[in-house]
């Protein structure tokens, strides 16, 4: 008898539309293959939906705040039903860019230099600080968003204007800009699944480059790295996956510049849409979308 799977998707984050797409793609694939599936929003009806549907496993297709930052994981723990991807603490660590980068640095994992900014110093002093510590251009990003939401490459002329436009975050990260190749690496439990290089037509791999087919980001697989560098980036991603304590599938984002890999972040709940990278990497390795989903569900059922 096929399992009953409750898919959590939607939510209230800025990645709601991506989450709905992920949930829909997973549901379609499972229904085609005889699974009983119910899609639920993570709202006040969640408890009722879980009690009435009685799922064997919960597929967490949420992205962004409240979905992959330990919040929904804390709620799911009380139901004693297996759920996919990482648990409470790894999720919260990976989603917080400041905490995760400090862990990278402590464990000698190369990452771009950065500092956090709380709108607490004068504009001129901020420019001086950036010149001294990082140099322009810089990357400005929220501490706890995914999918490159509100991420900007800034120069001296536009940084104050951009910081003002995202002031509602109260605290953001200002990070050294690293050029070079965009390399994404997928880890699947104890398996180094593979990597893909992205060549965006836009200035960088931003939200539009990720989710708009018209942006025409070029996907290069296999990646154009020699064996030594390929093995090196796979090992860094695997080390990070284990270091944070992740489960299931993760995707780590790197820049490769002048012979060095720079880890930008690790994603504990990679997308499962038609343009998503982990399914593409898996397909290149002969793992179908269904097989990938079934593995994620099976992995969820193992003890945390």
Catalytic residues: 15, 147, 211, 251, 253, 265, 267, 271
Q: Which of 181, 191, 169, 165 is nearest to 287 (CA)?
A: 191
101-104 LR contacts (CB < 8 Å, sep 24+) = 103/243, 103/244, 104/240, 104/263
Please report, for residues 61, 92, 149, 238, the alpha-carbon distance to residue 273 in angstroms, rounded to integers and kept in the order given. Answer: 10, 23, 17, 23
């Amino acid at each position: 008898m096929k399992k009953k799977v409750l898919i959590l998707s939607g939510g209230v984050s800025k990645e709601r539309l991506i989450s709905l797409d992920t949930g829909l793609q997973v549901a379609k694939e499972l229904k085609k293959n005889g699974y009983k599936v119910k899609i639920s929003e993570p709202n006040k009806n969640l408890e009722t939906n879980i009690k009435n549907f009685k799922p064997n496993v919960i597929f967490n297709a949420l992205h962004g705040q409240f979905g992959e930052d330990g919040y929904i994981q804390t709620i799911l723990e009380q139901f004693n039903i297996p759920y996919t991807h990482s648990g409470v603490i790894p999720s919260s660590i990976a989603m917080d860019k400041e905490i995760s980068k400090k862990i990278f640095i402590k464990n000698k994992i190369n990452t771009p230099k950065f500092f956090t900014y709380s709108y607490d110093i004068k504009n001129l002093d901020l420019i001086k600080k950036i010149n001294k510590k990082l140099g322009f251009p810089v990357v400005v990003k929220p501490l706890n968003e995914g999918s490159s939401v509100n991420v900007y490459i800034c120069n001296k002329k536009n940084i104050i204007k951009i910081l003002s436009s995202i002031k509602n975050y109260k605290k953001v990260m200002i990070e050294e800009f690293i050029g070079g190749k965009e390399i994404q690496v997928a880890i699947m439990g104890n398996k180094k699944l593979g990597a893909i290089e992205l060549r965006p037509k836009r200035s960088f791999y931003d939200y539009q480059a990720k989710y708009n087919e018209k942006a025409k980001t070029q996907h290069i697989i296999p990646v154009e790295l020699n064996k030594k560098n390929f093995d090196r980036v796979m090992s860094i991603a695997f080390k990070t996956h284990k270091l944070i304590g992740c489960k299931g599938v993760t995707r780590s984002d790197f820049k490769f510049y002048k012979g060095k890999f720079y880890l930008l972040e690790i994603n504990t709940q990679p997308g499962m849409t038609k343009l998503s990278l982990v399914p593409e990497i898996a397909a290149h390795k002969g793992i179908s979308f269904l097989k990938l989903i079934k593995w994620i569900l099976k992995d969820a059922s193992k003890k945390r």
